[in-house]
């Protein structure tokens, strides 16, 4: 059989639409154990160079993991990037078959880097960190309801909040246990935690969601997280530079860390006030502090050094 170079898979809750680049037809598989097993067998016969999924809120995880376990190079990409390619090609219609074909085209043209194989411990840590985030959203929503709910419901909401907070505490203990089981994570956690203004939430989020920390230069790590400002110039017009994209979970965590560091970290505090003195808006100054904090931590992890007054 002719070697298939690039494969695009459009994912929904119940099915997987699979298209091999430059072939006419796509094929459907169930997004269930039987369908995924059949998909793996089909890919073993085709021997693709790269298989690309869009990130679909988790529906792609089982199939992507099964394909990685079978030895295939698999990349999960931002759906916005694929949609922009479709628009550039003049394809405005959207169906599962069309989407799978565009994803396969994206795979062939862009050839995104394959995601690394996740160990069971990495999967457990990522799941626990994500679950903690979900429970925090629930706690905030319930606390907001307290101000407007009838008095007869307040006790029920308070009990639910207490239960959620207890579950968050249990998850945080589990996260620390997971980190302690991996020597690399344990060393990395000690380095990140040594930075004034950074707490355990930032530490665990960075370890779980930013494995590239310490492996990239300052420009690339900032762009990966979504803290690199992009130019918006045209001719003589110089537009405001703005941050865009990236990993929002890391960015949200860094926002809270930067708030704390702007008060308690001497390097970040001086940097923050120098920006304000130059007329920068507080939000702009705080975004710059987020970027500086990330760059400092990235350099510390790369060098294996804990915080110093003059950081690496």
Instruction: Report pLDDT digits (tens) over 162-185.
Output: 999 999 999 999 999 999 999 999
What's the CA gap between 66 and 60, in Å, rounded?
10
What's the CA gap between 57 and 228, in Å, rounded?
25
Q: What is the pLDDT of residue 114?
A: 87
Output DSSP code: residue 162.
H
Residue 306 region, left (φ>0) first, then alpha (ψ -120 to 50), else beta? beta
Q: What is the pLDDT of residue 139?
A: 96
- Beta strands across the sheet bearing 50-54: 26-30, 15-20, 6-11, 50-54, 74-77
Q: Where are the beta strands (DSSP E) in 196-260?
A: 233-234, 237-238
Give me the residues paired with residue 74 across strands: 51
Q: What is the pLDDT of residue 72?
A: 93
Local confidence band at 243 (pLDDT 50, 70, 90 cut-offs): low
Least confident of 58-62, 72-76, 237-241, 266-270: 237-241
> How far is residue 223 CA from its own chain's centroid?
12
Residue pLDDT, tens place only, 13-59? 999 999 999 888 889 999 999 999 999 999 998 889 999 999 887 89
Give me the CATH topology for the region 119-181: Helix Hairpins (1.10.287)
What's the CA gap between 311 and 70, in Å, rounded?
43
Q: What percent of the chain has pLDDT over 90?
A: 73
Q: What is the pLDDT of residue 31?
A: 95
Q: Can you tell me the mean pLDDT for 266-288?
A: 93
Q: Where are the beta strands (DSSP E) in the chain?
A: 6-11, 15-20, 26-30, 50-54, 74-77, 233-234, 237-238
- Determine which helix (DSSP H) or strand (DSSP E) holds 273, and give its type and residue range: helix 266-277
pLDDT at 237 over 70: no
Q: What is the pLDDT of residue 117?
A: 78
The CATH label, of 3.40.50.1480, 3.30.420.40, 3.40.50.410, 3.40.50.2300, for the domain at 6-110 is: 3.30.420.40
Residue pLDDT, tens place only, 187-205? 999 999 999 999 999 999 9
What's the CA gap between 219 and 217, in Å, rounded?
6
Query: What pTM, to 2 d.p., does this model score?
Result: 0.78
Q: What is the pLDDT of residue 169?
A: 96
Q: Classify each residue of 68-98 as buried b or exposed e, where b means 16 or more C-beta atoms within 10 Å of its C-beta.
A: beeebbbbbbeeeebbebbeeeeeeeeebeb
103 or 240: which leads in pLDDT: 103
Pairing of strands 26-30, 6-11: unpaired
pLDDT at 298 over 90: yes
- CA angle at residue 12 from 11 to 17, to 5 degrees? 50
Q: What percent of the chain has pLDDT over 70?
A: 92
Pairing of strands 6-11, 50-54: parallel
**Average per-residue pLDDT for the chain:** 90
Q: What is the pLDDT of residue 229?
A: 73
Q: What is the pLDDT of residue 1?
A: 44
What's the CA gap between 125 and 182, in Å, rounded?
11
| Domain spans, the chain | 6-110, 119-181, 186-312
Q: What is the pLDDT of residue 97?
A: 93
């Amino acid at each position: 059989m002719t070697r298939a170079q690039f494969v695009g898979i459009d994912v929904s809750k119940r099915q997987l639409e699979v298209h091999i680049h430059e072939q006419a037809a796509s094929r459907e598989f169930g997004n269930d154990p039987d369908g995924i097993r059949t998909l793996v067998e089909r890919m073993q016969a085709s021997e693709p160079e790269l298989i690309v999924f869009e990130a679909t809120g988790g529906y792609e995880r089982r199939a992507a993991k099964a394909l990685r376990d079978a030895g295939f190079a698999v990349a999960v990409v931002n759906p916005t990037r694929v949609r922009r390619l479709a628009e550039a090609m003049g394809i405005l219609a959207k169906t599962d078959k069309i989407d799978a074909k565009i994803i396969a085209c994206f795979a062939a043209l862009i050839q995104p880097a394959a995601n690394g194989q996740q160990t069971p411990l990495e999967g457990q840590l990522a799941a626990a960190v994500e679950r903690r985030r979900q429970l925090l959203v629930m706690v905030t929503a319930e606390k907001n309801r307290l101000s407007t709910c009838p008095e007869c419901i307040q006790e029920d909401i308070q009990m639910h909040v207490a239960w959620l907070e207890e579950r968050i505490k249990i998850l945080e203990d589990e996260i620390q246990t997971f980190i302690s089981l991996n020597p690399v994570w344990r060393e990395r956690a000690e380095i990140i935690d040594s930075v004034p203004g950074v707490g355990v939430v930032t530490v665990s989020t960075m370890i779980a969601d930013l494995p590239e920390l310490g492996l990239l230069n300052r420009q690339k790590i900032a762009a990966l997280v979504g803290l690199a400002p992009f130019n918006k110039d045209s001719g003589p017009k110089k537009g405001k530079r703005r941050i865009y994209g990236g990993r929002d979970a890391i960015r949200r965590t860094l926002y809270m860390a930067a708030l704390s560091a702007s008060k308690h970290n001497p390097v970040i505090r001086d940097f923050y006030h120098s920006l304000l003195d130059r007329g920068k808006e507080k939000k702009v100054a705080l975004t710059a502090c987020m970027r500086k904090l990330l760059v400092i931590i990235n350099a510390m992890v790369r060098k294996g050094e804990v915080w110093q007054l003059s950081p690496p």
